[in-house]
Amino acid sequence: MHELDPLDVDRDVPGAVAARLRSLLGPRREQAAAADPVFAADLADRVADFALGGGRLMRPQLLWWGFRGAGGGSAGAPAALGAAAALELIQTCALIHDDVMDGASLRRGRPALHAALDGQYGGHRRPACGSFGSAAAVLAGDLALVWADDAFAESVLGLPAAPRAAAEWRTMRTEMVAGQYLDLLGQVTGVRSPDRAQRTAVLKTALYSVGRPLALGATLADAPEALVRTLHGAGRSAGLAFQLHDDLQGAFGDPGALGKPVGGDLRDGKPTYLLAVARQRCERRGDRAGLRLLDEVAGSPDAAPQDVARLLDLLADCGARELVARRVGELCEQGVAALAQAGLPAQAEARIALLFRSACAPAPPPAPPPPGGAVRPGPVLTGEAR
């Protein structure tokens, strides 16, 4: 096996991560087929195809550039690339489970995994726990998580920074689950404060999607703790902007661009910062009609399209949409400013800043030409904060 040149990865990080994913998923597909061909076809192959099909690979890119920005080179490059691929499998787990919890029928413009399984076996007897597809998708997400943990452990084995990196990995997984739980809890308890909504967004997205991947990459380069903390803090700000932007897109975005219907978070009553701010503003100005509309429509799965449209008008009229959009811009620039204090090499700083901005804006600014070859610009990231 030839030595991995980090400069080759720099030129196309998404392509390198996808190639590593394919190489590690091949043997796992074979193991699944050896266990049982039906299990392999129905679950293992679907999990592998999900991981390889259409993801934007933001988290793996941030991990890689955190590694390179902290001085990571040839010696640690295979470990960093393997960890980046493992991180995409964690995201696969999160999205499969998220679609089950949300009852979402679409993901990336195609049937969600649980919906596809229900379509395949929908005429059969339903299990006691609910639909067959939902129960099977829980197992599919678990399989992705197992594969992720195995891939991460194999990748960092023998690396001097492996114990520190493993601690980051464990913390990231726990924060991700905690954030998703708070999201579910908010839907059933009706806790609607902006502070609580922001705490949920920090755990569910800001740390898991941006702060921890950057910190993990820097840790794999055996960076000083001070640099790891700086990158973590910069990522926390940009990651929170990412989630708040995603909330706006989920309410006001283009369904074609998102790959799923808009308004789902409103109907589910998700405790988003957008809804919390709208409620706070209605309370402060004594808008009883607005509060009544929030109570009647937010959290009502059967809300009529015209009622959702009225709620969207309220979010705009009360100033919540504008306030959250402004907060997105402020947080994103805070992240970029904090990143500039880290003293990273110019190429790594430019790539991370571009990923920050492309995650938080309708369109990313042009990428500065990095030294050492052209790198394709990061995509606009909407609808996949979780």
Residue-wise pLDDT for 77-121, tens only, equals 999 999 999 999 999 999 999 999 888 888 887 888 999 998 898
User: Cα separation of 72 and 352, whole Å?
Assistant: 15
Instruction: List the chain residues with pLDDT less than 70.
Output: 1-2, 123-129, 256-262, 362-386
Q: Which of 228, 109, 112 is nearest to 167 (CA)?
A: 228
pLDDT at 2: 59
- 237 with 331: CB under 8 angstroms? yes
Amino acid at 231: L
pLDDT at 373: 38
- 206 with 242: CB under 8 angstroms? yes
- 143 with 43: CB under 8 angstroms? yes
Does the reported pTM lie above 0.95?
no
pLDDT at 290: 96
pLDDT at 264: 79
CATH number for 6-360: choose from 1.10.600.10, 2.160.10.10, 1.20.1250.20, 2.120.10.30.
Answer: 1.10.600.10
User: Cα separation of 15 and 122, whole Å?
Assistant: 37
User: Cα separation of 95 and 205, whole Å?
Assistant: 12
- 165 with 215: CB under 8 angstroms? no
User: Cα separation of 12 and 133, whole Å?
Assistant: 36
pLDDT at 370: 42
Q: What is the pLDDT of residues 196-232, one digit of tens each?
A: 999 999 999 999 999 999 999 999 999 999 999 999 9
- 223 with 165: CB under 8 angstroms? no
